[in-house]
């Protein structure tokens, strides 16, 4: 299994991405405790000490390559998060994709694309799995737009998967549409 180094960093689409550290606790809590942003996610307690402990525990899982939690920057300012909540040799589960509400509209797309580039190109994983609350119509529409396949649904969630073969052609069209390589 391919592991990311502790000091992993990548720049693409005008963004910088690195792994989360304890020092990121305030930004994580800022996003994770925003009721509007997280209405379709598991809730996080607004407790700095609990979040720091969660990050410490997460770092153990990161060292084993089981999870990765990424923070994204635009011009030196933290703008978003995305997490690989579990993985195997063949698949990764994407979750906790959150962005500051006051950023430019292309940035969340670039964050998601960069996350997928890490999964497909660097970690060489073949499949990304996502679950999305049915009520989250905007994100469900996004998954369809980028070519994800809905494979299952529960009473509250839609389950999607994406492969390199379905994602790359759609990614490339959207990159051109938003001029993401020019950012």
Q: Give the domain ranges of the chain.
A: 13-177
Determine the angle formed by the axes of helices 48-63 and 25-32, rounding to 10 degrees: 110
Look at residue 38 in the predicted model and tell me its pLDDT: 72
Q: What is the pTM of this model?
A: 0.91
Report the 10 Å Cβ neighbour count for 92. 24
Look at residue 182 in the predicted model and tell me its pLDDT: 66
Q: How far apart are CA 109 and CA 94, in angstroms?
A: 14
Which of these CATH numbers, 3.40.190.10, 2.40.50.140, 3.40.50.150, 3.40.630.30, describes 13-177? 3.40.630.30
| 172: Cβ contacts below 8 Å, ≥ 6 apart | none
Q: How far apart are CA 128 and CA 167, in angstroms?
A: 10
Burial class for 72, CB neighbours closer than 10 Å (0-12, 13-18, 19+): buried
Look at residue 41 in the predicted model and tell me its pLDDT: 73
Q: Which two tokens stand for residue 174?
A: 């959207």
Positions in the chain whose pLDDT score sits under 50: none
């Amino acid at each position: 299994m391919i592991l990311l180094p502790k000091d992993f960093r990548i720049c693409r689409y005008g963004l910088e991405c690195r792994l989360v550290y304890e020092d990121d606790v305030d930004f994580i809590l800022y996003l994770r405790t925003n009721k509007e942003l997280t209405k379709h996610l598991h809730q996080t307690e607004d407790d700095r000490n609990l979040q720091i402990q969660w990050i410490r525990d997460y770092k153990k899982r990161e060292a084993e390559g089981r999870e990765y939690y990424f923070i994204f920057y635009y011009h030196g300012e933290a703008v978003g998060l995305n997490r690989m909540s579990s993985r195997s040799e063949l698949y990764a589960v994407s979750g906790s994709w959150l962005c500051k509400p006051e950023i430019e509209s292309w940035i969340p797309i670039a964050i998601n694309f960069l996350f997928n580039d890490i999964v497909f190109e660097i970690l060489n994983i073949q499949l990304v799995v996502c679950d999305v609350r049915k009520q989250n119509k905007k994100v469900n529409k996004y998954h369809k737009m980028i070519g994800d396949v809905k494979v299952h649904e529960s009473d509250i969630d839609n389950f999607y998967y994406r492969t390199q073969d379905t994602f790359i052609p759609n990614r490339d069209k959207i990159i051109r549409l938003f001029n993401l390589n020019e950012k």
